[in-house]
């Protein structure tokens, strides 16, 4: 002890408020275990809060993905109905064209029917390409959206 400590009567290593000259006792096993468990429980609670926040964000993201998929399904259903109407109209047009050629040409139908079918097929092929392209675009956008949301 230094001279100043001996004059004040404080022991080395004593805590403020301890009696002068009294040596501080080491903490008991119960006190050590309590401090250890209390410290660990704080860490566990902090980890639980973090996990809860992450799960909440994941649920929000999953809801957004679910809503996007539902919207895409509605769009696809609408496009499918429109495409079906177009195909039915094209089929009717083809049937009417064949009837018209049968009425005009009589027995010599082979050439006119082939020409009419060729024109109709050419016309419908363009429509089919547009429909297929639209469906591929929507499918790729949905897939890209799902992948982007899952990779966040």
A 10 A CB-CB count for 88 gives 10
Which bin fits 106, alpha (ψ -120 to 50), beta or left (φ > 0)? left
What Rg, from alpha-carbon coordinates, does the chain have?
42
Domain assignment present for 145: yes
Share the mean pLDDT of the chain: 79
Domain assignment present for 32: no
Average pLDDT over residues 13-17: 49
Find, among 78, 57, 77, the residue nearest to 65 by Cα.
57
Average pLDDT over residues 58-67: 90
Q: How confident is the model at residue 5 (pLDDT cuts 50, 70, 90)?
A: very low
Instruction: Annotate 23-34 with b (16+ C-beta within 10 A) or e (fewer).
Output: eeeeeeeeeeee
CA 61/CA 150 separation, integer angstroms: 8
Domain assignment present for 15: no
- Residue 103 makes CB contacts below 8 A (sequence gap 6+) with none
Domain assignment present for 46: no
Question: What is the pLDDT at residue 112?
Answer: 67
Domain assignment present for 142: yes
Domain assignment present for 21: no
Average pLDDT over residues 22-31: 82
Q: What angle do CA 26, 29, 35 make, to 5 degrees?
A: 90
Between residues 12 and 86, which one has the greater pLDDT? 86
Number of domains in the chain: 1
Domain range for 118 is 62-150
Domain assignment present for 146: yes
Domain assignment present for 103: yes
Of 11-20, 76-85, 120-129, which gets the smallest average pLDDT? 11-20
Contact 120, 97 (CB under 8 A): yes
């Amino acid at each position: 002890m230094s001279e100043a400590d001996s004059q004040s009567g404080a022991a080395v290593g004593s805590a403020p408020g301890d009696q002068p000259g009294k040596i501080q006792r080491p903490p008991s096993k119960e006190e050590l275990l309590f401090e250890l468990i209390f410290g660990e429980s704080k860490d566990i609670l902090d980890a639980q809060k973090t996990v809860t926040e992450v799960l909440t964000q994941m649920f929000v993201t999953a809801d957004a993905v679910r809503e996007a998929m539902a919207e895409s399904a509605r769009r696809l259903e609408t496009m499918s109905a429109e495409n079906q109407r177009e195909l039915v109209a094209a089929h009717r047009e083809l049937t009417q064209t064949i009837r018209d050629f049968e009425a005009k040409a009589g027995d010599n139908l082979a050439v006119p029917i082939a020409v009419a079918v060729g024109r109709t097929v050419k016309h419908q092929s363009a429509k089919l390409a547009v429909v297929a392209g639209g469906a591929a675009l929507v499918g790729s956008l949905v897939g890209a959206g799902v992948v982007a949301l899952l990779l966040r």
